[in-house]
Amino acid sequence: MSTFPSAVSGFLNYLVNTRESRVFSSTKIFNALSKQAYLMSEMVRGSSGEMAKAKSSGREFRETIKLVPFSNSRTFLPGDERTPTRGTEDVAIIAPWRFHETNRPINDYEIDTNEGDMFVQFKDLKTSIMQGLYTDHINFMEAQLWNIPDGPNMESRNASPTNRMYSIPSIIVESSRQAPVSGWGAVATSTIHTASPNTLVNWRNQVARFDSTQLDDPQNGLFSAFDEIFAKLQFVPPPGFEKYMENDDLRGMKIVCNLDGYNAFQSLLRDSNNSTRAGAQDPSYGMPTFKGIPIKWIPAIDEALLDETGSVSSPLGSVAEGTYTNQAYPAGRPRFFFINCNYFKAIFHPNHMMRETDPITGGARQRDVNTVFLESVMNLMCFDRRRQGIVCPL
């Protein structure tokens, strides 16, 4: 006779009482659905390792940053009459909560029709269900990082099931207009976190371009563009004034690209092999770096439909930007995102970060089905766009 009174109540109790045994621990089920690399976890923690959770549970996350320059500095003579003034330098930025969930139903008969000891059935079934649940949810959240910019649904503060969290390309843009291109909506929605990059010059990310037809060109090639973007992203305060100015050592910087970009960077390294490395003639670079920062391939970028068409003029020539083509970046035209995770984070609601629900019964209409949900309430927020950058082709 089974230790459990029935397959139904037994398995539900097993799920509830063994929740500390999380996904990816079983050796019986091979998970071929996981990606080679993920960025979300690094955006959650940044360089400090501290998880970014909101400090309050309001309907949106707010932060105040200094964006509007103001100065009343002047020369003076002793005894001059003064008129002290103080400008409005602070601007509130806002990220509304976005809601994401994944579920897996459990049918009672999955237990009854499996052979073997009841405990073994429970363990195997739970492992399979939870692997699928967590892998699906994590892959979904990773894909959200690279959604096409959608102003009406990303910037909206009204409750709607069509709302989307901000994506990395909606914050780090290659447009010379310093706001996402088509799809971001009319002028009324040209703000990012409710702040306008059109009027706030300090609310713009850095851009450097390379000639995709001459990647090794010493003036307009890929390495030259990396030099340019890196110089733009370094902010070093005067010695002794670190208390009043941000002193970022770039420990939180991530350089990410698609596989085409990763291979292009490696190829350039190999072409420069005699000057960039010594010793064994190994054509492979285990972890290609720039200024000591690893170049990471993020598979989700391969699948993101972020290619643009149309053109505007730039100092280096005609630049493709205007309308998204619903295609991935084409071969030979990769983008490299420089993401400073100290100032660009995935922020979760304190009570709803990867929250796993108890099994929920299907009721009278589906009496033999119970469902487990995994939910995340979060959004991306950038605290300083000047410290984010993109290297993109002409």
Confidence of residue 304 (pLDDT cuts 50, 70, 90): very high
The model's confidence at residue 21, banded by pLDDT at 50, 70 and 90, is very low
Output phi, psi for 118, to 5 deg.
Answer: -60, -40
Mean pLDDT on 21-48: 57
Kindly compute the dihedral angle of the four CA atoms of residues 224, 228, 229, 234, in this order, to the nearest 10 degrees: 140
Confidence of residue 237 (pLDDT cuts 50, 70, 90): low
Question: What was the pLDDT predicted at 45?
Answer: 66
Strongest mean pLDDT among 80-84, 180-184, 346-350, 379-383: 379-383
Confidence at residue 325, expressed as pLDDT on a 0 to 100 scale = 81
Tell me the whole-structure pTM to 2 decimals.
0.79
**Nearest 5°: CA angle at 218, between 212 and 221?**
20
The larger pLDDT score, comparing residue 316 to residue 18, is at 18
pLDDT of residue 149: 86
Position with higher pLDDT, 88 vs 82: 82
pLDDT of residue 43: 80
Bridge partners of 338, per DSSP, are: 255, 389
Question: Is the sign of the CA dihedral 230, 253, 303, 382 positive or negative?
Answer: negative
d(CA 290, CA 139): 28
Nearest-5° angle of CA 309, CA 315, CA 318? 25
The pLDDT of 338-366, averaged and rounded, is 86
Percent of the chain with pLDDT over 90: 29
Q: Pull the structure tokens for residue 51.
A: 């998880």
Question: For a pLDDT cut of 70, what percent of the chain falls above it?
Answer: 68
pLDDT band at 3 (very low <50, low <70, confident <90, very high): very low
Strand duo 90-96 + 312-314: pairing: unpaired
Rounded alpha-carbon distances, angstroms, from residue 187 to 152, 156, 192, 385:
11, 14, 12, 20
Residue 30, token pair as written in the block = 């091979």
What are the angstrom distances between the C-alpha of 206 and each of 195, 201, 237, 309? 17, 11, 19, 21
Tell whether the model's pLDDT for residue 188 goes beyond 60: no
Please state the φ and ψ torsions of residue 12, each to the nearest 5 degrees.
-65, -40
Give the SS3 label for residue 137: helix
What integer best gives the mean pLDDT of the chain?
76
Region 284-293: what's the mean pLDDT? 81
CB 298 within 8 A of CB 257: yes
Taking residues 234-261, report their average pLDDT: 72
Write out 144-161 in H/E/C secondary structure: HCCCCCCHHHHCCCCCCC
Please give the angle made by the CA atoms of 8, 12 and 18, to the nearest 5 degrees.
Answer: 145
Q: Tell me how far apart the alpha carbons of residues 181 and 392 are, in angstroms, rounded to a whole number.
A: 15
Write out the two tokens for 80: 């001059």
Please count the helices (runs of H) and the strands (runs of E) in the chain. 10, 17
pLDDT at 125 over 50: yes
pLDDT band of residue 37 (cuts 50, 70, 90) is confident
Residues 207/174, Cβ–Cβ less than 8 Å: yes
What was the pLDDT predicted at 340? 93
CB proximity list for 290: less than 8 A, separation 6 or greater: 226, 230, 255
Amino acid letter, residue 206: Q
Q: What is the pLDDT of residues 66-76, one digit of tens each?
A: 877 767 787 87
Using pLDDT thresholds of 50, 70 and 90, give the confidence band for residue 152.
confident
Position 251 pLDDT exceeds 70: yes
Q: Please state, in angstroms and rounded to a whole number, the distance separating the CA atoms of residues 255 and 303.
A: 18
> What pLDDT was estimated at residue 29?
43
11: pLDDT strictly greater than 60: no
Look at residue 160 and tell me whether its pLDDT is greater than 80. Answer: yes
CA dihedral of residues 60, 63, 67, 70 (deg, nearest 10): 120
